[in-house]
C-alpha cells in the first residue's frame, strides 16, 4: 500500500459521495429525501469497507479499479453513454421526489434495497475470484482465463452483478422514470461485451475455448 494510492482512493470516494449527493438532493430541493439517503448508504458504506480490504490485501486490484481511462476507441463511446444515462437517472430521481410524478409502493423500495445488496455481494465475489478484474478493457501481462466459480456459470458475472445493481437503483430511489432510463444499460453493456470479447479472443490464450464451454454471457439460459 502506498500513500499516493491511499489518498487517490480517499479523494475519489469523497468526490463520489459529494457529486452523487448533489445530483440527488439539489433537484429534489430538500434533504428530506429518505430514499436518497438509503441509496447513498447502501452504495457507499459497503464500498468504503471493500476499499479498505483491497487496500490492505490487494492494492494492485484497488489500483486497477481506480483506473477508468479506456484505451479502446469503442469503449469511450460506451463510457460516455453510461455517464449520460446515470446523470439523467439521478437528476430525474431528484425531480421526481420534488414533484411527485410517479412512485413505487413502499415494499418495492425495500425489495430493491435487498436486490442491490445481493448484487453487491455478487460483485465482491467476482473481485475475489478474478485477480485480473479491471474497469478498462485490456489483456494484462500473465493473465489467464478464469473459468471457475461464477465464471463457470456465465462469462461476464461482473456485468450480471452491475445489471442488477443499476436496475435496482431506480427502485430504491422510488423513481419509475429513473428505472426506465437505467434500462438503457442493457444495450450499453451488450456493446461493451461485444468489444471486450473481441479483445480477449485476440489477446488471451484459451478464451475461444472458454466461450464454447460457458455459453451464456450474463444470465444462464437467457443471455
In the chain, the percentage of residues whose pLDDT exceeds 70 is 87
**Would you call 91 exposed, middle or buried from its count of C-beta atoms within 10 A (0-12, 13-18, 19+)?**
middle
Torsion of CA 65, 10, 124, 111, to 10 degrees: -120
Question: CA dist 194 to 68, 80, 126, 221, Å?
Answer: 19, 17, 20, 18
pLDDT in tens, 10-54: 888 899 999 999 999 999 999 999 999 999 999 999 888 877 777
pLDDT in tens, 106-161: 999 999 999 999 999 998 898 888 876 655 555 656 678 888 889 999 999 999 99
Which fold does the domain 3-213 belong to in CATH?
A: 1.20.120
d(C-alpha 124, C-alpha 144), whole Å: 20
Q: What is the pLDDT at residue 183?
A: 97
In the chain, the percentage of residues whose pLDDT exceeds 90 is 56
Give me the residue spans of the domains in the chain. Answer: 3-213
Q: Of 165, 169, 166, 162, nearest to 133 (Cα)? A: 162
d(C-alpha 197, C-alpha 195), whole Å: 6
Name which of 39-48, 69-78, 86-95, 186-195 the model is least confident about. Answer: 69-78
SS3 40: helix
Residue 176 near residue 117 (C-beta atoms within 8 A): no
d(C-alpha 186, C-alpha 213), whole Å: 24
Cα four-point dihedral sign 210, 57, 164, 101: negative
Average pLDDT over residues 87-103: 97
Residue 68 near residue 135 (C-beta atoms within 8 A): yes
Residue with cell 465482491: 124
Amino acid at each position: 500500500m502506498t500513500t499516493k494510492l491511499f489518498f487517490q482512493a480517499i479523494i475519489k470516494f469523497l468526490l463520489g459521495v459529494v457529486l452523487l449527493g448533489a445530483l440527488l438532493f439539489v433537484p429534489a430541493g430538500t434533504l428530506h429525501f429518505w430514499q436518497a439517503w438509503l441509496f447513498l448508504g447502501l452504495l457507499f458504506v459497503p464500498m468504503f469497507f471493500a476499499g479498505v480490504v483491497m487496500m490492505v490485501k490487494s492494492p494492485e486490484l484497488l489500483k486497477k479499479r481506480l483506473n477508468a481511462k479506456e484505451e479502446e476507441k469503442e469503449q469511450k463511446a460506451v463510457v460516455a453513454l453510461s455517464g449520460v444515462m446515470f446523470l439523467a437517472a439521478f437528476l430525474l430521481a431528484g425531480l421526481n421526489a420534488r414533484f411527485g410524478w410517479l412512485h413505487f409502493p413502499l415494499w418495492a423500495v425495500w425489495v430493491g434495497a435487498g436486490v442491490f445488496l445481493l448484487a453487491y455481494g455478487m460483485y465482491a465475489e467476482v473481485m475475489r475470484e478474478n485477480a485480473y478484474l479491471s474497469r478498462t478493457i485490456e489483456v494484462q501481462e500473465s493473465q489467464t482465463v478464469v473459468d471457475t466459480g461464477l465464471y463457470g456459470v456465465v462469462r461476464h458475472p461482473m456485468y450480471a452483478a452491475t445489471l442488477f445493481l443499476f436496475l435496482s437503483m431506480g427502485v430504491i430511489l422510488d423513481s419509475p422514470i429513473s428505472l426506465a432510463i437505467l434500462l438503457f444499460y442493457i444495450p450499453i453493456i451488450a456493446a461493451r461485451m461485444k468489444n471486450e470479447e473481441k479483445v480477449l479472443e485476440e489477446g488471451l490464450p484459451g478464451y475461444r475455448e472458454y466461450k464454447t464451454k460457458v455459453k451464456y454471457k450474463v444470465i444462464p439460459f437467457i443471455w
